[in-house]
Amino acid sequence: MMNFTSIEWLSAAGYFACVVFVLRRMHVSFQHKCAIDVLEARRYFNSLQQKKMEIDEEKVKFAEEAQEIFALYDMTKELSKNFSEDDSIRIFKAKLSDSVRCDECRFVLPAVEEKKTIPQAPEGSVIPLIAQQQLLGYLLLKGCSSEGLEKAAILAHQLALVVRRDRLYRQVESLAITDSLTGVHTRRYILERFHEELLRARTQKIPISFLMIDVDYFKHFNDQYGHLTGDQILRNVATIIQENIRQIDIIGRYGGEEFCVILPEADGSGAQYVAERMRQAVEKAVVKAYDTKVRLTISIGIACYPADGRKVAELIDKADWALYRAKKIGRNKVCVFGVYDEKD
């Protein structure tokens, strides 16, 4: 058996003590490192959680913005299908209710602009509709939240653009079908309407009459008083004719000093009554043209469907022939087409 001396025991004990001390230090160091790693991992995890929350918030915000964009696109697509201001406002109100909670939505024209005041919506808000620096009207909203008002303001901007487009379209359309001198319809438009009204007359089996009107001795007025006076005479005659026809009747300038009138649902006797009334009105009127006062007369020829013809060209030709007859027998006359006179 091996015997250890006291020195050897002390030496072995010291060695083990050193080993234990080193192991403890290593253990403490390892625990400290693990704690630091856990802390770093926790911090990293927290940062990931924070980023996830930020991403979720961004997603919600993006979804809301996308919803607003889609709502704006959907509304724009619907609004682009028509050129009626009333329809555009109706569509806007319907689309607005899909995106914004609002108790009441009204559109008012800027009639109060002259008073320099803005209309007030009881317990509500007012959004001016402005496009190209032009005030088009006001949107009166009631029962909207602040967030809803922001969305409504964005959509209202699109409504302003559409309302301006609709009004420009109406102006262009009016210019295209309106005679610039007299303010009545152009020849092209009156012929298009004549075709439409004649088709309706055929379908519903109702009469329709066509009047050709000519200012008597118009060339004489032009030569004696000048073209400016002649233009004023045409404007006055157009006004007198309009004042003596019904709302459903359609007046147009056929060319030069000639006018024409379509009388839906009017037979020969009815057309003759209207024509005689406008002839007398022109005869009694004193036309003021600048510093000149003149009296004038008109001659009128009448053709009726179905008695005198069944086509537009045929009725126009016969009304023109009746007008020629009215002028030949002395002017300032109303002549209804009967039969062609070979002597004429």
* Residue among 85, 197, 257, 258 flagged as catalytic: 257
Q: What contacts 159, CB < 8 A, 6 or more positions away?
A: 79, 88, 89, 92, 129, 139
Is the pLDDT at 120 greater than 60, yes or no?
no
**More confident call, 97 vs 186:** 186
pTM of this prediction?
0.60
Helices (H) and strands (E) in the chain, counts: 8, 10
DSSP class of residue 149?
Answer: H
DSSP class of residue 233?
Answer: H
Q: What is the mean pLDDT of residues 21-38?
A: 77
User: What is the set of domains in the chain, with CATH numbers?
Assistant: 85-175 (no CATH), 187-336 (3.30.70.270)
Q: Which of 144-153, 216-225, 254-263 has the highest mean pLDDT?
A: 254-263
Q: What contacts 144, CB < 8 A, 6 or more positions away?
A: 100, 101, 102, 103, 124, 125, 152
Residue 339: its pLDDT value, please? 61
Question: What tens digit of pLDDT does each residue of 243-289 get?
Answer: 999 999 999 999 899 999 999 999 999 999 999 999 999 999 988 87
47-51, 85-89, 173-177, 264-268: which range is least confident on average?
173-177
Is the pLDDT at 63 greater than 60, yes or no?
yes
Whether 257 is a known active-site residue: answer: yes
Is the pLDDT at 228 greater than 90, yes or no?
no
Residue 204: its pLDDT value, please? 94
